[in-house]
Chain A
Amino acid sequence: MEFREVVGTRRSMRFFAPYRQVEPEKIQVILEAANRSSRSMNADYVKAVVVNRDDLTPEMRDSLRNPTTSLDLDLAPVYIMWFINLKYADGTKERLKEQIDHGILAASHGWSHAYVDEVIQKTVIEKITGDDFRLNWMGAIEAGQAIANSLLAAYDEGLGACLHNFTDTEVRKMMNIPDHWRRAWLMLVGYPLGDKADGGQRPRRPLSENFFTFKGDQLEPLQEDPAVTQRLRETRMIQEPSPLPYRHKEIRGFARMLGLPE
Chain B
Amino acid sequence: MTTAEELMTDPTVVRWLRSAGFSTETPAEQLAQVRMLASFCNHEGKMPQEILDTCLLEKTDDGQYEISIKGRRLVNAAIDEFATTLGLSKHYEIAAGNSIRGFLVHNGVLIQGKPSVP
Contacts and interface: CB of A to CB of B under 8 A. Distances in A.
Interface of A: 18-19, 67-68, 70-71, 74-75, 248, 252, 255-262
A70 B115 contact: no
B108 to A, nearest CB: 12
Given A67-B67, A255-B98, A260 B113 contact: yes
Residue of A19, A71, A248, A260 with most chain B CB atoms under a 10 A cut-off: A260
A261 B21 contact: no
Interface residues of B, number: 22
Contacts of A261: 98-99, 101-102, 104-105, 111, 113
A259 B21 contact: no
Given A18-B117, A19-B118, A67-B67, A259 B95 contact: yes
Interface of B: 20-21, 67, 69, 91, 94-95, 98-99, 101-102, 104-105, 110-118
Given A67-B67, A248-B21, A260 B115 contact: yes
Contacts of A71: 112-115
Nearest to B33: A262
Q: A-B pairs with the 9 shortest C-beta distances?
A: A259-B116, A71-B112, A261-B101, A258-B115, A260-B113, A70-B112, A259-B94, A261-B102, A261-B98
B91 to A, nearest CB: 7
B113 A259 contact: yes
A50 to B, nearest CB: 21
A71 B114 CA distance: 6
A65 to B, nearest CB: 9
Contacts of A68: 110, 112
B34 to A, nearest CB: 14
Nearest to A248: B21
Contacts of B116: 258-259
B111 A259 contact: no
A241 B54 CA distance: 39
A70 to B, nearest CB: 4
A71 B105 CA distance: 14
A260 B98 contact: yes
Nearest to B72: A67
Nearest to A19: B117
A257 B118 contact: yes
A251 to B, nearest CB: 10
A66 to B, nearest CB: 10
Contact of A67 (B21, B102, B110): B110
Contacts of B118: 19, 257
18 contacts: A18-B115, A19-B118, A67-B67, A67-B69, A67-B110, A71-B113, A71-B115, A248-B21, A256-B95, A258-B115, A258-B116, A259-B94, A261-B98, A261-B105, A261-B113, A262-B20, A262-B98, A262-B102
Contacts of A262: 20, 98-99, 102
Contacts of B105: 261
Nearest to A17: B117
Contacts of B110: 67-68
Given A68-B112, A259-B114, 12 more contacts: A19-B118, A70-B112, A75-B115, A252-B21, A258-B115, A258-B117, A259-B98, A259-B115, A260-B98, A260-B113, A261-B101, A262-B99
